[in-house]
A = this chain, B = another copy of it.
Amino acid sequence: MQFKIRAANKEDCKEISRMIMELAVYEKMPDQVKISHEELERDGFCQNPFFECLVAEVPEHHKSREGFTVVGYALYFYTYSTWRGRSQYLEDLYVMPEFRGNGIGKSLLSKVAECVCLGGQPERLCAAAVVCVELEHTHS
């Protein structure tokens, strides 16, 4: 399946917000999501953004059953260890269920790693939720 991984822009925040909720539903905690796409727009696209985000996009003819073409995302930010220095933290990595098994999760993860290197950061990348990639590996 054709897809591309690209840096998210402000206009993607509604889609990212939708997928954040999908992930929370999967984790059986949808009531824990307290932020909307407006907060994502404000916090991710200001002068000193609080996070960076990549999205996976499929062509129009591969859109989801509901008509979505943005089908996955990886959201990460920078942290700091007083022992090891600069680090990245992968907060979420998500691919919509019907698009799993196509290498999208792996590509998102590779691209995050690449962004880490481009930023002149060390190779430390921590993650909380890799469940979707694991699922994808299981199905591919």
Contacts and interface: CB of A to CB of B under 8 A. Distances in A.
A85 B48 contact: no
Number of copies: 2
Nearest to A75: B82
A86 B34 contact: no
Contacts of A33: 82-83
A48 B51 contact: no
B85 A81 contact: no
Contacts of A86: 43, 50
A78 B51 CA distance: 9
Nearest to A32: B83
B89 A79 contact: yes
Interface string A71-87: 00001011111111110
